[in-house]
Structure 1
Amino acid sequence: MSPEPDTVAALGEFGLIRAVTGNRRQPKSTLLGPGDDAAVVAAPDGRVVATTDVLVQGVHFRLDWSTPEQVGRKAVAVNLADVAAMGATPSSVLLGLACPADTKAALVTELVDGMWAEANRAGVGLVGGDVVQSDQLVVSITALGDLGGRAPVTRSGARPGDILAVCGRLGWAAAGLAVLGRGFRSPVSVVNAQRAPEPPYPAGPAAALAGATAMIDVSDGLLADLGHVAAASEVGIDVHTPRLQISQKLREVGSALGADPLRWVLTGGEDHALAATFPPFVDLPEGWLRIGSVTMPESGVTVDGKAVGPDGGWAHWR
C-alpha cells in the first residue's frame, strides 16, 4: 500500500530534509550548512559551548495545547537559553527528529518553521541534523555557542556577599500551564509563555561581561535551580520576595484560579529566564533585577531567611 501523499513517508528521508532546509538563509557563522556529511561552523573563540535537550510529545509538549510552530520555537529556545547561561553567544543549532511514518509533512515543516524563527531571533542558523522513524514525535536539539574570549560562567562561582539577580520572566509559563490544565486558552499572553518561552539571550553574555560569578537557566523553577548553584558553589542563597516583580496579569490569573502567583514565580519552571550572582560592587546590566543575596555555606536556599520545603520546583520522574 502506498503511503498517504501528504505524509513524511511519501516525502521520504531526503525529500523531507529538502523540504525543511531549502531556501533558508544562514548566518555568517555557518561556513557549510546542510547537505554534506556534517556542517562546519565558525568558532572564533577556539572553544565551543555545547548543549542538547530532548522534547517528547505528551511529556514536554502537547499538540492539542501548542501548534507545531510553537513546539519548534520552544525546542530551540530551551537549548539556546543554556548557551546564554554559560555567558556565551549562540552560534548554531542542530536537529534530531523522530516521528511516525504517517506524520503529516505540513506538521514537520511548521515545526521546523518555528525552529528557524527562534534561531533567527537569536541570530543563529539550523545547520544540520537527522530524521528517523519512531512510534511517537521526538525532537532533539543540539545548540552551540561562542564565549568570545571570556571564561564560561558556571554554577560554581558564587561567593558569600554576592548579590542575586534575574533577567527574564518568572512564573508566566507555570501560570500558562495552570490555565491550560483547567481547559482554558486565555489570557493568550500567559498561555503562550508556556507554549513558547522567550529567553533573554543577550543577557547571558552581558552578565559575563559585567563580572557574573555564577549563572543558570531557570528551567525547573527559580528555587530548584538556585539550589543547583548553591550546591555547586557551596554557599547559601536567600531570595528576597519584596524585590520580586509579579505582574498584574499574573495576579489576575492567580485570583481567577485561586492560586498564589508568588508560588508560580518561585517554583514554576519553563520560563527560561536567567539567574546569576554578581559581586556586590557591580552595576547590573540592563534588564537584570536584584532579588536576593548569597549567604554563608550550608544554609541552602532560603526565602526571606526561611528554609524552603522539598517541593521547590520540577523534578523528572517525580
Structure 2
Amino acid sequence: MSIAEAGEFGLIARVVARLENGPTTLLGPGDDSAIVAAPDGRIVASTDVLVEGRHFRRDWSSGADVGHRAAAANLADIAAMGAVPTALLVGLCAPTDLDVSWAEELAGGLSDEAALVGAAVVGGDTSASPTLTIAVTALGDLGGRKPVLRSGAEPGDTLALAGRIGYAAAGYTVLSRGFRTPKALVEAYRRPAVPYEAGPAAARAGATSMIDISDGLLQDLGHIARASVVGIDVRTESFEVSGQMLDAATALGVDPLQWIMAGGDDHALAATFPPGAELPPGWQPIGLVHEGTGITVDRKPWSGPVGWDHFR
C-alpha cells in the first residue's frame, strides 16, 4: 500500500502505532503539541535534515536503518552539549508512491534509537514531496550542568575522542563501489553506534569544549579551534586501524587514514579536557590544544580532504 492509498491520517495512525512514550513524555502524539518534562528548566535543542540521494539511498538502507541514522544525528548533538536527550520531533516529506511499510519501518528505527537514551518521538508532521526528506528536532536536558560549548578549549588541554571513527566513511566507500561487505563497515554506515553516555560523562569530568563528529574529524575540530581561538594537533599514532578497515582500504586503493581524519557519520564525540584531568571511561587522548590557530596532524598541515560540506 502506498501512502497515497493510506492517506495522510492513515499514514499517521500507522506511524504513531510504532512509537512508545519515554519517561519525560507527559503528552505524546495526538494533540496540537506534545508536552515534554524539562526538569532542568532549560531545553537543549538541535535539528538535522536527511534528504534521499544526498544523505541516504533506499537501495543501501532499510527504512529502519534510515530511522536509526536520522535519530542518531540529532541525539548525538544533544550529547555533545553534555545533555541527556528527552524527545524527538519528526517531519516526513515523502513521494505519494512511497510504500507505507517503509514509513512504518522508519518510525520503528527512530523510536528504537531514541529509546537507547530514554527519549521518545513525541510528534511531528507529514507532507507530500517529490523528494523523500526526514527532518528531526531533538530536545534534551542538562540536569543542572553547564552546557559544554565549542568555545571553551584552552592551550594545554588534552584532546580526546569517544566512539569509533572512520567506520561509516569506510562503509560508504564500500557501498559506493558496489560491494556489501565487510558487514561491520557497511552496518556502521547504516546505523551509527553513538557513545551517548560519554557526553554527560565528559561534562561531569570538566570538559572544556565538545563536538559531535558528523562531517569529519578535522573539519569538526576546526569548529572548536575557531570558536576557542586555539590551535589543535591530532596525533595519528592514537588511532588503531581495524583489520577489516585495513583490508577494505587495500582492496579499494584508499588510505584508511583519510576515512579516520575526514570521514563523517560515525557521530563519535570529541572533547578537550584540562591538563592532568582524568578522562572518563570510554574516552581516549588523540591530541593536544596549543596556542595558535587551525588544525594540524602530527604537527604538520593536512594535505588531504578534511570533511563534508553540504554546498561544495
TM-score surpassing 0.5? yes
Give yes or no for the alignment of 1:58 onto 2:53. yes
Counterpart amino acid of residue 186 in structure 1: T
Cα root mean square deviation, aligned: 1.0
Structure 1 runs of 4+ off > 6 angstroms?
none
Question: How far apart are 1:25 and its partner, in Å?
Answer: 2.8
> Which of 72, 76, 83 is the equivalent residue of 1:77?
72
> Which of 83, 86, 104 is the equivalent residue of 2:99?
104
Q: Distance in 1 between matches of 2:195 and 2:212?
A: 10
Give yes or no for the alignment of 1:234 onto 2:235. no
Give yes or no for the alignment of 1:304 onto 2:298. yes
Asked whether the equivalents of residues 23 and 118 of structure 2 are also in contact (C-alpha less than 8 Å), the reply is no
Give yes or no for the alignment of 1:271 onto 2:269. no
Counterpart amino acid of residue 128 in structure 1: G
- The alignment-based identity, stated in percent, is 56
1:242-257 correspondence to structure 2 within 5 Å: 242-257=237-252
Q: Distance in 2 between matches of 1:23 and 1:79?
A: 20
Q: Distance in 1 between matches of 2:211 and 2:140?
A: 15
Question: How far apart are 1:132 and its partner, in Å?
Answer: 0.7
1:73-152 correspondence to structure 2 within 5 Å: 73-152=68-147
Q: Could you list the runs of 5+ residues in structure 2 that have no partner in the other structure?
A: none
Taking structure 2 as the reference length, the TM-score comes to 0.98
Q: Distance in 1 between matches of 2:135 and 2:173?
A: 26
Counterpart amino acid of residue 280 in structure 1: P
Provide the residue aligned with 2:179 in structure 1: 184
Asked whether the equivalents of residues 65 and 109 of structure 2 are also in contact (C-alpha less than 8 Å), the reply is yes
Q: Distance in 1 between matches of 2:197 and 2:92?
A: 28
Q: Distance in 1 between matches of 2:310 and 2:14?
A: 34
2:7 aligned counterpart, secondary structure: helix
Question: How far apart are 1:310 and its partner, in Å?
Answer: 6.7
Taking structure 1 as the reference length, the TM-score comes to 0.96
Provide the residue aligned with 1:3 in structure 2: none
> Which of 235, 260, 284 is the equivalent residue of 2:255?
260
Question: How far apart are 1:196 and its partner, in Å?
Answer: 1.6
Provide the residue aligned with 1:22 in structure 2: 17
| 1:62-95 CA distance string (max 9 Å, x none) | 0011111101110000010000000000000011
1:168-179 correspondence to structure 2 within 5 Å: 168-179=163-174
Counterpart amino acid of residue 303 in structure 1: V
Question: How far apart are 1:308 and its partner, in Å?
Answer: 2.4
Q: Distance in 1 between matches of 2:203 and 2:276?
A: 15
Q: Distance in 1 between matches of 2:132 and 2:99?
A: 11
1:14 aligned counterpart, secondary structure: helix
Question: How far apart are 1:23 and its partner, in Å?
Answer: 6.0
Give yes or no for the alignment of 1:211 onto 2:227. no
Mark the CA change 1:251 to 1:33 in structure 2 (over 3 Å): closer, same or farther.
same
Q: Distance in 2 between matches of 1:224 and 1:23?
A: 37
Give yes or no for the alignment of 1:288 onto 2:297. no
Question: How far apart are 1:56 and its partner, in Å?
Answer: 0.5
